[in-house]
C-alpha cells in the first residue's frame, strides 16, 4: 500500500500529523508513506522518521489578469510536483488540510481513492474532490484526534502508537511563537517569574526558535537560566530529549513535545484549547482563561480585548500545575 498525506499549513499543524504517521507505520510497517507540503515545511516533515518521502508543493497564486473572470487560478505551477507524485502510483490520498489546493492536488495526481473530511469542516468546496468522506460536522475537536477520525473511515485498525520516555531533572520553557502568532504569547516576565519558582532540583532551559530573537536579549538580561536559540527543529528536539516537563505557548514547540510524549503544559491564549491543546493520548495539561473571546484581528497582531485571555492566567495557577508533574 502506498499512501500520500497532505498538510499545507505551518510548523505546528505539520507536527500534529506525526502521531498519525507513526501509528500508520506501527500498524502497517510495510506501507509506503508519502507526505506533500509547502517547500518551507520540508525540514519540519523531516523530523518524522515514519515518512518515507516528502514531496514539495508550491503555493498557488491568483492570476493577475482574470480576463473578465474566465481565468481565476494558474495551476500549471503544480505540474512538476504532480508529475513526480504520479510516478509513485499512490493508492490513497489523505487530505489533512481541507482547502482547495490540498483537495485538488490528489485529483490532478490521478490518485483514485481520495479521503478527507466533509464540507462542514473543510473549506473552498474541497469535499467536491474526494471519493471517500469522513463526516465531521463540528470544529471543536482536537486536531490530532481529528486526523485519526479521518483515517479510521477506511482503516479502523489504525490507533495511536504507545510511546515511553525517560526523564531527567530539566524543564524546558518555550516562551516564543511564530511572528504571525505573537498574540499567543504569555507575558515573558511571567515566564521568568515562573522559572525562578520552579523546584531548584530541576535545571531550567529557555529554548527559542529563529522567530523568537526579539525576546532573546530580554531573557538573557533578566534570568540566570540557560537560554538556547535553535536554528533547526532537530536542535529543538535534542534540547527536549529526556525533559521532565516542557512549558510553552500554543505553538509548534509544545506540539513537538506532545508528539514525543513528553509531559507538557500549554498556556493557551486566543485560539481554542480543545482544538489546539494537549490531546487525550498525551501527557500534560492545557491552561486557559475559561471566558473565551473571539479576537478577529489575531493574525494581524491586534487584540480586541486587551490580551485578556492570557493576562488572566497567573503565575501561581501555572506553578500549581507544574508542581504536579515535578513531584
3-25 per-position pLDDT tens digit: 999 999 999 999 999 999 999 99
Average pLDDT rounded to a whole number, residues 270-289: 96
Does residue 58 surpass a pLDDT of 80?
yes
pLDDT band at 301 (very low <50, low <70, confident <90, very high): confident
Output the pLDDT for position 211: 87
Does residue 147 surpass a pLDDT of 80?
yes
Q: What angle do CA 172, 174, 179 make, to 5 degrees?
A: 165
Environment class of 70 (CB within 10 Å of its CB; exposed 0-12, middle 13-18, buried 19+): exposed
Average pLDDT rounded to a whole number, residues 56-69: 90
- Chain centre distance of CA 197: 29
pLDDT band at 297 (very low <50, low <70, confident <90, very high): confident
- Chain centre distance of CA 57: 18
Does residue 64 surpass a pLDDT of 90?
no
Helix, strand, or coil here: 17?
Answer: coil
Does residue 320 surpass a pLDDT of 90?
yes
Give every CB contact of residue 323 below 8 A, 6+ residues apart in sequence.
Answer: 199
Q: Are 315 and 197 in contact (CB under 8 A)?
A: yes
pLDDT band at 29 (very low <50, low <70, confident <90, very high): very high
Instruction: Identify the weakest region by mean pLDDT among 134-148, 192-206, 210-224, 250-264.
Output: 210-224
pLDDT band at 115 (very low <50, low <70, confident <90, very high): very high
Spatial strand order in the sheet of 245-249: 226-229, 203-208, 170-174, 245-249, 264-268, 284-288
pTM flag (> 0.85)? yes
Output the pLDDT for position 69: 87
In the numeric block, the cell 502506498 is attached to 2
φ, ψ of residue 220 to 5 degrees: the values are -65, -25
Output the pLDDT for position 293: 77
* pLDDT mean across residues, the chain: 95
Question: DSSP assignment of 159-220, as one string?
Answer: -PPP------SEEEEE----STTGGGPPPHHHHHHHHHHS-TTSEEEEEE-GGGHHHHHHHH
Q: For residues 256 and 144, what is the distance between their CA atoms, to the nearest angstrom? A: 12
Does residue 113 surpass a pLDDT of 90?
yes
Question: DSSP assignment of 223-251, as one string?
Answer: --SEEEE-SSHHHHHHHHTT-SEEEEESS
pLDDT band at 214 (very low <50, low <70, confident <90, very high): confident
Instruction: Identify the weakest region by mean pLDDT among 165-169, 237-241, 260-264.
Output: 165-169
- Chain centre distance of CA 120: 21
Output the pLDDT for position 225: 95
φ, ψ of residue 197 to 5 degrees: the values are -100, -5
User: Percentage of the chain with pLDDT > 90?
Assistant: 85
User: Percentage of the chain with pLDDT > 70?
Assistant: 100
Output the pLDDT for position 296: 76
Amino acid at each position: 500500500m502506498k499512501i500520500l498525506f497532505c498538510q499545507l499549513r505551518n510548523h505546528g499543524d505539520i507536527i500534529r500529523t506525526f502521531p498519525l504517521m507513526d501509528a500508520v507505520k506501527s500498524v502497517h510497517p510495510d506501507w509506503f508513506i508519502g507526505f506533500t507540503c509547502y517547500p518551507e515545511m520540508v525540514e519540519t516533515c523531516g523530523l518524522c522518521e515514519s515518512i518515507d518521502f516528502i514531496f514539495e508543493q508550491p503555493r498557488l497564486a491568483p492570476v493577475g489578469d482574470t480576463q473578465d473572470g474566465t481565468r481565476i487560478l494558474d495551476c500549471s505551477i503544480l505540474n512538476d510536483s504532480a508529475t513526480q507524485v504520479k510516478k509513485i502510483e499512490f493508492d490513497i490520498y489523505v487530505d489533512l488540510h481541507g482547502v482547495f489546493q490540498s483537495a485538488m492536488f490528489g485529483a490532478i495526481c490521478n490518485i483514485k481513492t481520495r479521503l478527507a473530511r466533509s464540507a462542514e469542516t473543510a473549506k473552498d468546496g474541497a469535499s467536491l474532490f474526494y471519493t471517500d468522506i469522513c463526516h465531521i460536522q463540528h470544529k471543536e475537536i482536537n486536531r490530532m484526534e481529528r486526523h485519526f477520525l479521518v483515517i479510521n473511515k477506511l482503516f479502523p485498525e489504525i490507533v495511536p502508537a504507545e510511546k515511553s520516555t525517560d526523564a531527567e531533572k530539566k524543564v524546558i520553557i518555550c516562551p516564543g511563537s511564530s511572528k504571525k502568532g505573537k498574540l499567543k504569547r504569555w507575558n515573558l516576565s511571567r515566564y521568568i517569574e515562573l522559572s525562578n519558582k520552579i523546584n531548584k532540583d530541576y535545571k531550567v532551559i529557555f529554548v527559542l526558535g529563529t522567530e523568537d530573537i526579539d525576546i532573546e536579549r530580554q531573557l538573557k538580561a533578566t534570568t540566570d537560566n540557560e537560554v538556547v536559540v535553535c536554528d533547526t527543529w532537530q536542535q529543538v528536539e535534542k534540547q527536549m530529549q529526556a525533559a521532565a516537563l516542557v512549558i510553552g505557548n500554543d505553538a509548534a514547540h509544545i506540539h513537538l513535545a506532545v508528539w514525543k510524549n513528553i509531559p507538557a503544559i500549554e498556556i493557551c491564549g486566543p485560539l481554542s484549547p480543545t482544538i489546539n491543546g494537549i490531546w487525550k493520548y498525551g501527557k500534560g495539561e492545557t491552561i486557559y482563561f475559561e471566558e473565551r473571546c473571539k479576537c478577529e484581528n489575531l493574525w494581524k497582531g491586534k487584540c480586541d480585548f486587551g490580551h485578556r485571555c492570557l493576562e488572566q492566567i497567573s503565575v501561581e495557577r501555572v506553578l500549581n500545575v507544574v508542581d504536579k508533574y515535578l513531584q
